[in-house]
Structure 1
Amino acid sequence: MTINQADLLKKLRLITLEAQGLNHKKPFGSGKAAVLAAIQQLGYVQIDTLSVVSRAHHHTFWTRIPDYQPKLLDQLVAERQIFEYWFHAASYLPMQDFRYALPQMLSIKNGESRYFKADSQIMHNVYDKIRIEGPQKARDFESLSKSNSSWWNWKPTKIALEQLFMQGDLMISARNGIEKVYDLSERVLPSTINTTLPTVLEYAEYLVKTYLRAYGFTTIKQITHLKKGQILRQNVEKILSQMLEDKIIQKFEGNEIQTIYVRIDLLEKTYNTNHSNLHLLSPFDNSIIHRERVKACFEFDFRLECYTPELKRKYGYFCLPILFGDVFVGRVDCKAHRKSGVFELVHLHIENTEIDLSSWLAPFLKTLHRFVHFNRCQSIIISRISPPEQSNTIHEFINHHWDETQLKDELPITK
């Protein structure tokens, strides 16, 4: 298939939004089955402890599953259909993919990759306590060492727990809020799960197919992100070469884009280019976690600034990208004040001036209201809008058209 670069970029946007479940209102259905289907399609969902608004993993599911509730995720963990481990960060993954976590577990256990410096005797004691007494939380342990050494100010038993978890001896059997419950892996893993160590070629194939399924297209750089080793890269290239030969994917090269590999079935598909879905995305959402991809395809330069010193922040502490159709129209720095029930739009940044503001304000407000309820808040405050000249337009729209959203009496908005 021959295609010019502008048309290719448009097609790539539509392909990746389709693959990510952002082109339809209920791409995975509803309820618990939809949560499992979403994880299987996306490959993983990142876990994050920041609670400025609803935590990232819950936010990511809520974006794709209208009736999502956190208890559905807990149920899937309890049923052993998903598990926690590391992808590029702490994540929920499909239990069916467990064997592909084994290479990293083995590498850590053999000392090839060192995340922690746990005391071997404390690790032994921690493991035995869980083996004998059953599942434990970190606070169930008293320090088993008199050492004052620490890692991120963790006590030695916490370090031991994380070492045992990362090397695969322990798994997370449940969470109480954000607090982990650890148990022996042999008691958590279903007996039907394949636990054979994949070959390097099998592991490469898993990575390639995961990225192609989740995004519709990929690059070698993305596939091997944070994964070291020339052998892995060579096997990734081998898998891609075979898929090219089998006409499963097509390769594109250009001056302004990296070499990319696109699924041919998605290239040939016809997409609705007039849809106006609006999404308020988590900063950790799978669709935007690869910043270079987003910048290249969507011309949207996104960085999470909560780890940036306040004076150096351009947009705010915890900005949520606003996606309208296949265009990012802006971002909004948000904070849920749960005690007072107020959801604050600390700073709404309107960035795309080519799209009429009035075309996306109504769906933005509807999506915002759903999200505010999901965050257990009852009212909204808009503290700042940029550019300032848009402020009056937005507030006039709210005052004159609020009934159109059918939410006027449900959730008040104030300046």
Structure 2
Amino acid sequence: MHQLTRDEARRIAVQAQLLEADRPDDVVGIAEQLGAVKIDPTATIAPAEHTILWSRIGSGYDRGQLAKTVEADRLLFEFDGAFRPVSLLPLMLPAMRRWPRRESSRQWLEANDAFRTDVLARLRAEGPLLASEIPDTAQVVRPPDGWYGPNQVVHMLDFLLRQGEVAIVGREGRHRRWDLAERVYPKDMPEYAYDEAERMLNERRLQAAGIAKQKSPWTPVGEAGEPAVIEGMHQKWRVDPEALTALENDAVGRAAFLSPYDGMLFDRPRLRELFEFDYVLEQFKPKPQRKYGYFAHPILMGDRFVGMLDAEVDTDREELRVTAVHEFLPFDEDEHDMVRAEIADLGRWLGVDVPEW
């Protein structure tokens, strides 16, 4: 049983998310460690998938690297709104083969068996294709729900993706291009039983988190890693043994701006318990109710969240307009310098000017 202070637990979490002072420089290596790089088009600064990588690499990150690793090298694949390392695919396939578990989804697939056959046949004959290039021959229609429109092809492709029968080969803008999974995913992947694959997935989730509550629904890790207790807390935690090396690292922390969809922010209860940060995304709040801004980026300083960056790229003027840097507590001179340096790096990466703010 590892006995940890809250400071030590935070350092473990920060290093596991590759946000310590020593920056990585490899897109695939980052995805391997994080497990997933979230995709989201909201681009007050840049789309989430690119901001997440910039937050780790810095201005040396080239956006073309991501497209190359996904579409040419096939070292990452897109699934469920994120880019994931291909090494995870064999661990995900056993659960994909059991999908769907919801009765309504099974009934829709059964009622549209001929439609499913049509979609697969079209991809086999003509793929890769956009969803708009595949005829909608659905016999039973799922109503629009706010995320999906009336076109049933998108529903069917997403269902077949979750079953491992089709795959996304790339994008044209924000539109996904589809093909048969057998022509996209690696051949001769290792095979795992469902329970073994789930155990290994738990290990990968804990690797990305560094430390997580044993029964967290946000970061399910099961019995992965080793047990730990954190000073002043009663919950049972699991810690990645390799992440304990963070406690031997004396590197000075740095400032990092995190996309609201960054994986570091996903486990909201852990943010509150370890970092005393009660994060609320204000994107969907009415403007009068926003405190920090429509898509403000949390500011991590070392192992503490210290503020929020409200900034937006003005494409007409080719500027990064900083509306505000909200300080939870007043910054000292060194903290101001670190934040200003990170804003300057963000401007360099975006290729825009940063006016005084």
TM-score using structure 2 length: 0.87
The structure 1 segments of at least 4 consecutive aligned residues displaced by more than 6 Å after TM superposition are none
1:216 counterpart residue number: 210
Give the whole-Å Cα distance in 2 for the aligned partners of 1:321 and 1:315: 10
Q: How does 1:138-153 map to 2 (within 5 A)?
A: 138-144=131-137, 150-151=143-144, 152-153=148-149
After the TM superposition, which of the residue ranges 116-125 and 288-297 deviates more from structure 2? 116-125
2:199 corresponds, among 202, 205, 229, to 205
Alpha-carbon separation, structure 1, partners of 2:141 and 2:202: 44
**Count of residue pairs the alignment pairs up:** 349
Q: Are residues 367 and 257 of structure 1, via their aligned partners in 2, closer, same or farther at CA, if it must alter by over 3 Å?
A: farther
Q: Does 1:25 align with 2:22?
A: yes
Distance apart, 1:375 and its partner CA: 3.4
Q: Tell me which amino acid in the other structure corresponds to 1:10.
A: D
CA deviations 1:128-150 (Å, max 9, x no partner) are 11110120012223544598864
Partner of residue 10, structure 2: 13
Return 5+ residue gaps in structure 1 as ranges.
Answer: 228-232, 244-248, 381-411
Structure-to-structure mapping, 1:98-247, within 5 angstroms? 98-109=89-100, 114=105, 117=108, 119-144=112-137, 150-151=143-144, 152-194=148-190, 196-200=191-195, 202-222=196-216, 224-225=217-218, 236=222, 239-240=223-224
Q: CA RMSD in A?
A: 2.8
The yes-or-no answer on 1:282 pairing with 2:252 is no
Q: 8 Å contact 1:115–1:163 — kept in the other structure?
A: no
> Per-residue deviation at 1:288?
1.8
Q: Which moved more, 1:139-148 or 1:320-329?
A: 139-148
Alignment equivalent of 1:314, drawn from 291, 295, 303: 291
d(CA) in 2 for partners of 1:325, 1:59: 18
The equivalent residue for 1:272 is 250
- Could you state the TM-score of these two structures normalised by the residue count of structure 1? 0.76
Whose relative contact order is higher, 1 or 2, with alpha carbons under 8 Å and at least 6 apart? 2
Q: Identify which range, 139-148 or 38-47, moves more after superposition.
A: 139-148
Instruction: Kindly report which structure 2 residues correspond to 1:87-98, keeping only aligned pairs within 5 A, or say none.
Output: 90-98=81-89
**Contact kept? 1:83, 1:95, Cα under 8 Å:** yes
Equivalent-residue separation in structure 1 for 2:328 and 2:256 (angstroms): 15
CA contact (8 A) 2:296 2:309 kept: yes
Distance (whole Å) between structure 2 residues aligned to residue 130 and residue 305 of structure 1: 40
Aligned to 1:372: 347
**Does structure 2 conserve the Cα–Cα contact (< 8 Å) formed by 1:123 and 1:157?**
no
Query: Unaligned regions of 5+ residues in structure 2, if any?
Result: none
Measured in 2, the distance between the counterparts of 1:116 and 1:336 equals 46
Q: Which amino acid aligns with 2:54?
A: W
Which stretch of structure 1 is more off in the superposition, 38-47 or 254-263? 254-263
Of structures 1 and 2, the larger Rg is shown by 1
- CA positional deviation for 1:171: 0.3
Letter of the structure 2 residue corresponding to residue 138 of structure 1: A
Partner of 2:31 in structure 1?
39
Change (3 A) 1:82 1:261: same
Shift of 1:253: 5.8
Q: 1:128 corresponds to which letter in structure 2?
A: A
Q: Which amino acid aligns with 2:353?
A: S
The residue identity in structure 2 corresponding to 1:53 is I
2:272 to 271, 275, 295: 295
Give % identity. Answer: 26
In terms of mean alpha carbon deviation, does 291-300 or 178-187 score higher?
291-300
- The residue that corresponds to 1:62 in the other structure is 54
How far, CA to CA, are the matches of 1:26 and 1:106 in structure 2?
37
